[in-house]
Structure 1
């Protein structure tokens, strides 16, 4: 497990949140699945906590039949930055689009939303009172983010240009079009997977669980749906869809794997 008490280095996935049409129903589902606690009330933005530490957020967005305002269907990953304005400029220079911000979120920090050249959505977080996820890499918290794209080339140019990432392949996956993304200090922050069958480019969110099969059972009992768990080289994983149609993955680390 990892408890985070200060801002992460620039380019690190540091926060994740989800647009939901019904915060109360979201609390019921994700509380049953992950054991999260929540800030009181039905606010526009709700912090999700694991044993008192912030791990995610819900943003209330009314459901709509209009495609222009439809919920995105995925958790949004936010990358740490220590200079929102400078990173926003690098996003634009690299061919991305800033769609919101930077905007002050009370005393919590500065938030920005953007899309990369292939249309994948992500955010920036410049932490102040809230450094981002205060717990990661333990059951009930964020474990990993990877970008899946039918055409990974633009993403492999964009993210190194914005965050100074380096890239290298994965010898454990010789048949996959996969590249690690690493910060300048060598720390792996995620990866980019080329998948010709992917419907569009998107960042995928993986939450850690202690037992994938048990998590699937909890998700279904709470009103979601799930695919049959399967073993990858690192984790036993399953794709879950919440009651609103948002998708994400859960995974339990396999014994004797790093």
Structure 2
């Protein structure tokens, strides 16, 4: 499996799982995706778990940390690569975003910041120095897509266009609802789905990672055997067959078996 050595500005570059029970999360994802992990010490920030694929020496796929406090919900956070955290942070604030934590250094591996968009969906910025991010993407067991679920499509298009310079391209892939693909330099970096009446009314806007699996049905039902809850059962859409689950701690994620013409 070829290793990714860098990510273009505006593209997803890292995933971080905040869990109330890191040990349980490690067991779940090791069983579900075959991940391994090792611990990285981050100075004053404590230990940070790095998930890898194909053994502990394999490529990095994501990170794991304990919840910052009891008010933080279990969740996957998507990090987007930026050239200058401070410049992008100013753009996020100017566009109406809420600062969750200000740009900070001191990790020894890069600079980060976190914001919530106009609907409250959180996302993070990453300016790498040593840790470029995920070392494998679009391979079985790794992230292959990130997606924003939103009830304000036009507001989200304006916000992320101002923050990252993304260009929205509309598609129809599921039911009759519009689907937006975000592009940078003509290349897709993520998507956005409209939260219509079929979505649970108590679900707020959110970003969610998609992981490529060889058999969506088998992996989704295996997840439930391991303690996950099914949010959207295996369903056919234009890009392939996907499902959405809540892991045993309540963090949302999706999995997809890509259509043959989208692989490679």
| TM-score between the two structures when normalised by the length of structure 1 | 0.89
CA root-mean-square deviation: 2.1
1:132-211 correspondence runs (5 A): 132-170=133-171, 175-183=176-184, 185-197=185-197, 198=199, 199-211=203-215
Q: How much has 1:236 moved relative to structure 2?
A: 1.0
| Structure 2 residue 10 is the aligned partner of structure 1 residue 11 | yes
1:120-159: per-residue Cα shift (whole Å, max 9, x none)? 1000011121101110001111111111112222111000
Q: Find the aligned partners of 2:105 and 2:2 in 1 and give their Cα distance.
A: 27
CA distance in structure 2 between the aligned counterparts of 1:62 and 1:157, rounded to whole angstroms = 31
Is 1:28–1:222's contact at 8 Å kept on the other side of the alignment?
no
| CA distance, structure 2, for counterparts of residue 253 and residue 169 of structure 1 | 20
**Aligned mates of 1:2, 1:168 — CA distance in 2:** 29
User: Which position in structure 1 is the counterpart of 2:218?
Assistant: 214
Q: How far off is 1:172 after superposition?
A: 5.2
Are residues 1:49 and 2:55 paired?
Answer: no
Q: Does 1:225 align with 2:229?
A: yes
Conservation of the 8 A alpha-carbon contact between 1:156 and 1:192: no
Q: 1:238 aligns with which of 225, 237, 243?
A: 243
Q: Once the 2 structures are TM-superposed, how far is the Cα of residue 231 of structure 1 from its aligned partner?
A: 1.2
Cα distance in 2 for partners of 1:174, 1:243 equals 29
Residue 63 (structure 1) shift: 6.8
Structure 1 contact 2–136 (Cα < 8 Å) conserved: no
Q: Secondary structure at the match of 2:127?
A: strand
Deviations along 1:46-87, whole A, 9 cap, x unmatched? Answer: 1111121111011111773xxxx131x431111100100011
Residue 112 of structure 2: aligned partner: 111
Unaligned runs of at least 5 residues, structure 2: none
- Select 1:61's aligned residue among 57, 60, 67: 67
Q: TM-score under structure 2 normalisation?
A: 0.87
> How many pairs does the alignment contain?
251
SS of residue paired to 1:102: strand
Query: Any conservation in 2 of the 1:44–1:60 contact (CA below 8 Å)?
Result: no
5+ residue gaps, structure 1, are none
CA contact (8 A) 1:109 1:128 kept: yes
1:41–1:157 distance in 2 versus 1, CA, 3 Å: closer
Q: Which residue of the partner structure matches residue 127 of structure 2?
A: 126
* 1:87 equivalent in structure 2: 88
Tell me how far apart the structure 2 counterparts of residues 63 and 174 of structure 1 sit (CA, whole Å): 39
Distance change >3 Å, CA 2–CA 94, structure 1 → 2: farther
**Deviation string for 1:216-235 (max 9, x for gaps)?**
23312322233531111112
- Given the superposition, is the C-alpha separation of residues 139 and 105 from structure 1 closer, same or farther in structure 2, using an over 3 Å criterion? farther
